[in-house]
Amino acid sequence: MKFIASTLATALSTLVLAGAAHAAIVETADGQLSTAGWSTGIGADASIYVPAAPTGSRGVALSEGVWSTNTNIAFSAGQTLSAWVNPGPSPTDSNGAQGGRLYLGFNADAAGAYSFVAASDTGALGFQDNSGYATPDFSAKTALSYADQWYRLSVTLSADGSSATAQLFDADGSTLLGSTTETGLTRSAATGIALRGTGGAAVASISVVPEPASAALMLLGLGALGLRARRAGSAQ
């Protein structure tokens, strides 16, 4: 009985973690923005970005300079928002491309959003307060040199929602190229996400990862159930 209870608890933990990993994707962006709730009349155009992102999604090039918002997708304090992005190559690239910008917005509602910006045209990873969805110039937080490839851009909100850290990873999804943190955020009541692209910027496979504390509490609960089952078995 003890062996069975222990094995069951382990199996349940494994299944919960595996399920959470699959459930994290909130928008595949496989040829189009397919998740319900994106702003009416705006969004991704029909052009599919090639090559596919490392996740296998073909991605999509966003409509030039237009904000796409989705308040049905919730991204809250303590969580991590992640997307595969390609803002285009730096202007100094051998192909002479102009470069572009990919805005990954959060705390979004009808009144505006915050966004971290992967900007190949200026060689930076920056931040903007997009009140009213205006797009003022931002101060470069981290200098970066972009190639014409996919990168993984993640945004992690602090537990109280007052600060956020963006990290840009290379095409392998794990090699950190640069990061920047913004403090003094006040739009914690808004939990939607937003996208904007210029210069042919593309996006694929957007996900939201629950805060580690929630996963830990779930595992603690499973552990308690396993312990109760083992005690019940011993009493028989």
In this structure, the number of other CB atoms found within 10 A of the CB of residue 27 comes to: 24
* SS3 of 140-174: EEEECCCCCCCEEEEEEECCCCCCEEEEEECCCCC
User: Tokens 């920047």 appear where?
Assistant: 180
pLDDT of res. 179: 97
Q: Which residues fall within 8 angstroms of residue 121, CB to CB, at 6 or more apart?
A: 87, 88, 90, 91, 98, 99, 100, 101, 198, 199
CA 67/CA 121 separation, integer angstroms: 19
Half-sphere exposure (Cβ direction) of 25: Cα atoms closer than 13 Å? 15
Q: Which residues fall within 8 angstroms of residue 70, CB to CB, at 6 or more apart?
A: 27, 35, 37, 38, 39, 108, 192, 193, 194
Sequence ranges of the domains in the chain: 1-23+211-236, 25-209
Question: What is the value of pTM for the model shown?
Answer: 0.80
Q: Which residue numbers in the chain have pLDDT < 70?
A: 1-23, 41-44, 46, 91-98, 211-236
Classify domain 25-209 by CATH number: 2.60.120.200
158 is written with which tokens? 């602090």
pLDDT of res. 33: 87
pLDDT of res. 212: 59
Local structure of residue 44 (DSSP, 8 states): B
pLDDT of res. 91: 67
152-203 tens-digit pLDDT: 999 999 999 999 999 999 999 999 999 999 999 999 999 999 999 988 899 9
